Structure formats: structure tokens, C-alpha cells
């Protein structure tokens, strides 16, 4: 029996133009993006975690487990926490390793110590992106950061991979970028990437959002490396700079490679999507919808998306390019399994 959520995700590979519109490619140095517009009938109403924080509508709380955080939706609207969102604070910086669409705050699953105050609390899955700290610096709570995971770390953060794989890839990034030992002494990915912000910022400012844009497909040196899009153009606009910065790290990693000129990026993208073959798994989301994960049969590509009301709230697909290759079993710690996310 076919799974409806998986069939919806397959649309992106089998007939992408039935779901997406592709705009004119934008090129700067060795990075090319194709702006993506989601078809109007695929939109979903929600706000981003960043907007929710600005309006004090969400709270993220430390737990005693590295692999869990708690989040409270204090609003009367749905809030999206995208895959690859990093949060700083608590005893360690973390990343959220699956997309989560929170219910509207209200009467369902009410959790509140104060009568009359409507709140919803969820336990959400996290992975550490700061290996050598387990103490409070300032805040015991968390706030979202402007740093999203770049493709190689994101590839490892998708839930099939363990905590050790994420740490290995962060260390690989340190070596690739020649960061000094004095930079990020606690091995904080957020602190490391601050060192390249001037360069990534120079790249990002050359790419412009278009009307109703919802995402991007990205090429580096003429090679397609990934896609990210949302079912809401307002949320894309809020998140776009951070997403472009994450993908632009790939442009820095491979800036010395010769460029490969493509005549038609649209045609190349459609051909590649049609050729990709995946193994799919699905499960219920933390709150709304179903999470679908997919890995290519050659293990070069990984993706994750959240399907809600027959549409994809957040879609993410990346390829693994270089980086950490060997993962000795003895180095893998805190291996994450799906069931861990439900343990309080």
C-alpha cells in the first residue's frame, strides 16, 4: 500500500514543475541559485520560530538530556521550527534535527501551572553542535541563532546519523577552513562559522529575493548541491539570509576548484532530480504532519521534509561533498535513535 506522504515527496523528483516554479538563475562567483516559488495551492499558514521569538510567542527550555529540548507555543498560530535550525544557550548549543510544525496554542494538550494561561509544551529532538561545554554561560534558556547548518553538517544531522557523525563533520570543517585552535575552544559550530561571516556575507548580498519566493536550488562550481523551500513565502523571506549563508559556506569550501559553466541550469536541475533514486521512511511528526526522510541508494544525497495537509511545510535536500570520511565505531557517542525523541 502506497504511503500518501511519501508519494507527495516523490512529486519533487518525478514532476517538480507540478509543485514548483523555477525563476531566472542568479550567479555570483562560483555560486548559482535558482529562486523557487511554490505553487499557490501548496501554501500553508504558519510563522517562523524567528518571528515567534520576536513577538515572545515561543519558549525553548533545557532538559537533562543532550538529545531533547522542550518548547512551548504561547501563541494562537502555528509555528515552524525548520530542520537545521541552531539554538544557542543552555549548557550546549544545539541543532533541531527534524522540521516541526507546532499546533496553535490553545485547548489541546494544555500544559500550564497558571490557570487561565494557554500553553502547549512539546519535547523536541536536538543534537549537540558544541562538543566541549556542559555548563551555563549566560542564559538557561535558548534562542534561535542566525547560523544554519551548512550542507555537510546538515547531511550528518538528519536523523539516520548519530551525534558522533555530527561532531566529526564539524571538526572536519574546522580543518578545512584552517580555523586557529583559539577559535571556538568549546568546539562550538556557531562560534566557528562566525569566522567566515564576512566572506559569506559578501556572497549573500549579491542574491535577491523575488516576489513570492519560497526557496532556492543551489549550484556550486556548476554542480547541483541542494534545495531548500517552505510552503510560505513570508517565512522564506524571514529565513532566507541565514539559509543563503549556510549554502555559501560550500562556495568557500570549493572556491579554488575550476568552474563548470552550464548553459541551462533549469534543464540540469530537472535532469538531476529525475535521475535520483531514494529509499524513503516516514513517521508522525512531533506535533503536526508526518516527517519523511529519504536517502539516495548511493548515499550521496539525504533529505527530510514535513508533510502537513497534503503539502510540504519544509523541504530540505543536500549532497555529501568531501569532508569527514571515516567514522571509527569507538568515536561515535550519544547515538540517536528515533524513539529517543519521545523519552522525557
Measured CA distances, 143 to 129, 139, 264, 272 (Å) = 14, 9, 41, 37
Strand partners, 252: none
The C-alpha atoms of residue 1 and residue 74 are separated, in whole angstroms, by 39
Statement: the pTM of the whole predicted model exceeds 0.95: no
Beta strands in 23-74 (DSSP E): 26-28, 31-38, 47-48, 58-62, 68-73
Q: What is the pLDDT of residue 343?
A: 32
- Exposure of 274 in the CB half-sphere (CA atoms within 13 A): 8
pLDDT digits (tens, 9 = 90+) for 49-105: 999 999 999 999 888 887 899 999 998 899 999 999 999 887 788 999 999 999 987
Answer yes or no: are the C-beta atoms of 313 and 46 closer than 8 Å.
yes
- Locate the domains of the chain by residue range: 4-325
User: Sign of torsion, CA 245 251 255 259?
Assistant: negative
Q: What does the pLDDT read at residue 336?
A: 33
pLDDT category at 140 given cuts 50, 70, 90 is low
DSSP letters spanning 128-147:
ESBTT--S-SS-SEEEEEEE
pLDDT digits (tens, 9 = 90+) for 233-252: 999 999 999 999 999 999 99
What is the C-alpha separation between 255 and 252, in angstroms, rounded? Answer: 5
The residues, ordered by sequence, that sit 6+ positions from 248 with a Cβ below 8 Å of its Cβ are: 31, 199, 200, 203, 204
Continuous H helices in 61-159: 151-157
Per the listing, cell 538531476 goes with 272
Amino acid at each position: 500500500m502506497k504511503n500518501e506522504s511519501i508519494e507527495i515527496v516523490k512529486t519533487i523528483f518525478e514532476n517538480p514543475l507540478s509543485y514548483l516554479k523555477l525563476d531566472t538563475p542568479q550567479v555570483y562567483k562560483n555560486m548559482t541559485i535558482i529562486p523557487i516559488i511554490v505553487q499557490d495551492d501548496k501554501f500553508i499558514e504558519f510563522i517562523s520560530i524567528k518571528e515567534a521569538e520576536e513577538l515572545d510567542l515561543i519558549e525553548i527550555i533545557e532538559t537533562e538530556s543532550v538529545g531533547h529540548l522542550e518548547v512551548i507555543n504561547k501563541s494562537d498560530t502555528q509555528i515552524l521550527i525548520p530542520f537545521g535550525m541552531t539554538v544557542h544557550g543552555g549548557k550546549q548549543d544545539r541543532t533541531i534535527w527534524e522540521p516541526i510544525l507546532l499546533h496553535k496554542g490553545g485547548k489541546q494538550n494544555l500544559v500550564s501551572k497558571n490557570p487561565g494561561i494557554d500553553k502547549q509544551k512539546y519535547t523536541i529532538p536536538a543534537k549537540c553542535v558544541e562538543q566541549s561545554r556542559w555548563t551555563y554561560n549566560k542564559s538557561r534558556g535558548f534562542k534561535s541563532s542566525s547560523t544554519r547548518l551548512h550542507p555537510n553538517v546538515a547531511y550528518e544531522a538528519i536523523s539516520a546519523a548519530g551525534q558522533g557523525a555530527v561532531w566529526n563533520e564539524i571538526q572536519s570543517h574546522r580543518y578545512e577552513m584552517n580555523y586557529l585552535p583559539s577559535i571556538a575552544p568549546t568546539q562550538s559550530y556557531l562560534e566557528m562559522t562566525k569566522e567566515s561571516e564576512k566572506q559569506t556575507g559578501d556572497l549573500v548580498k549579491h542574491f535577491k529575493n523575488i516576489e513570492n519566493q519560497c526557496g532556492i536550488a543551489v549550484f556550486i562550481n556548476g554542480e547541483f548541491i541542494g534545495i531548500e523551500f517552505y510552503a510560505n513565502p513570508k517565512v522564506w523571506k524571514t529565513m532566507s539570509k541565514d539559509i543563503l549563508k549556510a549554502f555559501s559556506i560550500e562556495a568557500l569550501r570549493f572556491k579554488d576548484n575550476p568552474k563548470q559553466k552550464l548553459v541551462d541550469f533549469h534543464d540540469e536541475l530537472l535532469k538531476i532530480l529525475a535521475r535520483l533514486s531514494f529509499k524513503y521512511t516516514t513517521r508522525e511528526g512531533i506535533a503536526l504532519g508526518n516527517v519523511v526522510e529519504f536517502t539516495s541508494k548511493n548515499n550521496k544525497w539525504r533529505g527530510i521534509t514535513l508533510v502537513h495537509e497534503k503539502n510540504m511545510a519544509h523541504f530540505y535536500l543536500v549532497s555529501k561533498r568531501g569532508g569527514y570520511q571515516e567514522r571509527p565505531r569507538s568515536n561515535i557517542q550519544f547515538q540517536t535513535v528515533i524513539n529517543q525523541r519521545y523519552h522525557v
